[in-house]
Amino acid sequence: MLSRRNFLTAAVGVAAAGGLAACAKEDDSSTGSSSTGGAKTITLGFSQVGSESGWRSANTTSVKDAAKEAGYNLKFSDAQQKQENQISAIRSYITQGVDVIAFSPVVVTGWDAVLKEAKAKKIPVVLTDRSVETSDDSLYVTLVGSDFTDEGRRAAKILEKVLTKAGHKGAVKIAQLEGTTGAAPAIERAKGFKEIMDAEHKADWKIVVSQTGDFTRAGGKQVMAAFLQSNPDVNVLFAHNDDMAIGAIQAIEAAGKKPGTDILIVSIDGVKDGFVAMSEGKINAIVECNPLLGPQLMDVVKKVKDGEKVERWIKTEESDFMQDQAKAALPTRKY
């Protein structure tokens, strides 16, 4: 079994060799109704960002499946990418008196008031996937999620390999498709990428245009079409997730250009459709962001409910997610 980082390198080689083969809807139903030893069933209120991408769908499935496996009573809400919907859902969980609240925040700021309400009711809050900025660090217990800044750095480093394999010479003119404005992954992935770019490629790399595609395929397509109108000479696309990259591919092809050749593409996530595009030579490399946080989250929820001390940031564990997605996309290939 290849490690995640070795598999990433192998995936770049595959792609570069010639295109081979992330008002609310609330679910009040319980996914768990029993617990062992006569102990009270834990009730978890979870507010999800939405269903904007393949990554997010995998994340939601992981949370629901893990809650069921743990025997928790899960109250789930889809915020449809609106902060006001998440705040409403969290207040509903407070009113219902759930044991623990977990949520993946749409944006970084604007949470103090509702988190203070949860703290006043002594309901612990766990952040998943994304961080927040608060005036009081005690308003949430921990964050279970990835290092987005490092993902941005890894995207820049893997772009170096893509450029080398493509035999690219001369200026690197980069279009950047950002995630949702104000969201932690958008802020931190851009920061990490620019950190490497400024430190190691100040003379030859330049981000010539950058705008949010809101982590959606439709957004990626629309914004990339506008990029090509205003900056037809861009030769690299850095997309903050696979779905925006896939949307951008449609715009690139509509403009008569060849994605993966005329415009080299690096994205982040590692979902099945991203690997399909990479097998076709349309995406050159993908950096993993593991969405399978459910088991870790349920473990943390149990510890928090029991009053155990947990780390302030619990980083996402390495998994076989990317390899599984690649196998689903390319079932006849060995990894």
Sign of CA dihedral 158, 10, 266, 213: negative
List, in order, residues 6 or more apart from 91 with CB less than 8 Å away: 114, 117
Structure token pair of residue 78: 């889809």
Chain mean pLDDT for the chain: 89
Closest CA to 104 of 67, 143, 71: 143
C-beta atoms surrounding 173 within 10 Å: 17
Structure token pair of residue 238: 């850095």
Summarize pLDDT for 140-181 with one digit per residue, the tens.
Answer: 999 999 999 999 999 999 999 999 999 999 999 999 999 999
Alpha helices in the chain (DSSP H): 4-16, 54-70, 83-96, 112-120, 148-166, 184-200, 217-230, 242-254, 272-279, 294-305, 321-329
What's the pTM value of the predicted model, to 2 decimals?
0.86
Query: Distance between CA atoms of 112 and 82, rounded to whole angstroms?
Result: 16
Helices H / strands E in the chain, number of each: 11, 12
User: What's residue 254's pLDDT?
Assistant: 98
Summarize pLDDT for 272-300 with one digit per residue, the tens.
Answer: 999 999 999 999 999 999 999 999 999 99
Radius of gyration of the chain (CA): 21
204 pLDDT above the threshold of 50: yes
| Confidence class for position 320, pLDDT limits 50, 70, 90 | confident
User: What's residue 25's pLDDT?
Assistant: 58
Average pLDDT rounded to a whole number, residues 11-15 = 45
Place of tokens 């499946």: 65
Query: Distance between CA atoms of 133 and 149, rounded to whole angstroms?
Result: 16
Sign of CA dihedral 151, 154, 160, 166: negative
**Exposure letters 101-124 (e unless 16+ CB within 10 A, then b):** bbbbbbbbebbeebbebbbeeebb
Summarize pLDDT for 87-121 with one digit per residue, the tens.
Answer: 999 999 999 999 999 999 999 999 999 999 999 99
Summarize pLDDT for 256-268 with one digit per residue, the tens.
Answer: 999 999 999 999 9
Structure token pair of residue 321: 């997610």
